[in-house]
Amino acid sequence: MRLSKRIDGLPPYLFVRISEKIAEKKARGEKVISFAIGDPDIPTPQRIVQRLCQAAMDPANHRYPETYGLPELRQAIAAWYKRRFQVTLDPDTEVLPLIGSKEGIGHVALCFIDPGDIALVPDPAYPVYSVSAMFAGGEPYFMPLTRDNGFLPDLGQIPAEVACRAKLLWLNYPNNPTAATADVDFFRQVVEFARKYDLVLCHDAPYTEVAFDGYRPVSLMQVPGAKEVGLEFHSLSKSFNMSGWRVGMVVGNAPARNALMRIKSNLDSGIPQAIQYAAIEALQGDQGCIEEHNRTYQRRRDQMVKALREIGLEVNLPKASLYVWAGIPEGYTSESFAARLLEETGVVVTPGTGYGKHGEGYIRLSLTVPDDEMAEGLERLASWSRS
């Protein structure tokens, strides 16, 4: 058997390695508390579950769905964007449902990247941005996100010859893993940059509804001209605690959306229809669950930031996202510090270098941990620090 060269160069997905380490500890009978993976622990709202059950009983929803989704779902997505961001979208040409946003993020490079082309990718960042470019035969050019630049890419530092070879530019705000946020003025600058270099601007925005202290994250689509150059990926995973249901969407530029639909139509058969009806219920029904969830996450954020600061880690108070990005003590690498915490406390955190070399010096912790486990995990870290 001869594997392809792309498989030879493909690192194991970050969270697969973390899950393997957790399994090893549990096999030894040790209790592990994981702050590593941003998978909401709060259940999906009951009204959405009930709609799924109802739709699953209809034999019409047992057959193949269409790649481009039910018209009612595309309309519900467009209406949600209108209510939330005051953005007008054509549900037939500017909206495409996805089998989770990760699926669309992984496929979109196939629409634009040819061998030798460049994708401009933040570092640190969600690993799928760079991996998708590699799958398409291109290469990532990494834009450093640092504390000094507010974890925003400095577009002025990208060499002109690199920008001219680039086809895609990735952004993600509120950010994973740094929890940084961006405003409309920043997005205006990026839209102009994309227009100057004829780039497709891809914004991954699954955390716009996870925000604290009255902060309301913005959408790329709110910027005039964004639809001329951009796509925005979103998801119901974090907004409605539906990560296991695999339903997301991409909106924006019509030709780019159509290109992605053509790729998808050759590779998948769309979201199961019963899940589509549940997604419609999520988008059209009472949105009060989002505020309720955010109160829980904000309380956890406050507890975690306080505990981490007390043990001497440098932490900014996140305004949004499900993550806390913490600087590690001197004398460690991100991986060695995470490994020591796992070995000596049974607490799992994600090393910053799992998201790129500029994640060195940091660890990421998730707020998606039940309250009792969070309290125990933070106490373990405090006891370890005292000793």
pLDDT of residue 67: 83
Among 284, 313, 346, identify where a domain stops: 284
Boundary (domain end) residue, out of 263, 284, 305 = 284
Which residue numbers in the chain have pLDDT < 50?
none
Separation between Cα atoms, residue 54 and residue 43, nearest integer Å: 18
Best CA proximity match to 315, nearest among 345, 356, 354, 352? 352
Q: Of 229, 259, 284, which marks where a domain is finished?
A: 284
What's the number of CA atoms in the CB half-sphere (13 Å) around residue 380?
Answer: 21
Same-domain check for residues 303 and 292? yes
Whether residues 126 and 256 fall in one domain? yes
Q: Residues 118-134: pLDDT tens digits?
A: 999 999 999 999 999 99
In the prediction, which pLDDT does 27 show? 81
- Residue 362: CB atoms within 10 A of its CB come to 25
Does residue 282 sit in helix, strand or coil? helix
Instruction: Return the pLDDT at 12.
Output: 65
Q: Are residues 171 and 83 in the same domain?
A: yes
Q: What domain range includes position 110?
A: 46-284
Q: How far is CA 333 from the centre of its chain?
A: 24
For residues 302 and 244, state if they share a domain. no
pTM: 0.94
Same domain flag for 130 and 278: yes
pLDDT at 5: 77
Q: Tally DSSP H helices, then E strands, for the chain.
A: 14, 13
For residues 124 and 17, state if they share a domain: no
Pair 381, 307: CB distance under 8 Å? yes
The whole-number pLDDT of residue 21 equals 75
Run of H or E including 213: none
What pLDDT, on a 0 to 100 scale, did the predictor assign at position 239? 95
Question: Same domain for 244 and 322?
Answer: no
Nearest to 349 by CA among 100, 35, 124: 35
pLDDT of 13 = 61
Phi, psi of 97 (to 5 degrees): -65, 150
165 and 26 co-located in one domain: no
- What tokens does 36 get? 């590593």
Q: Tell me how many domains the chain contains.
A: 2
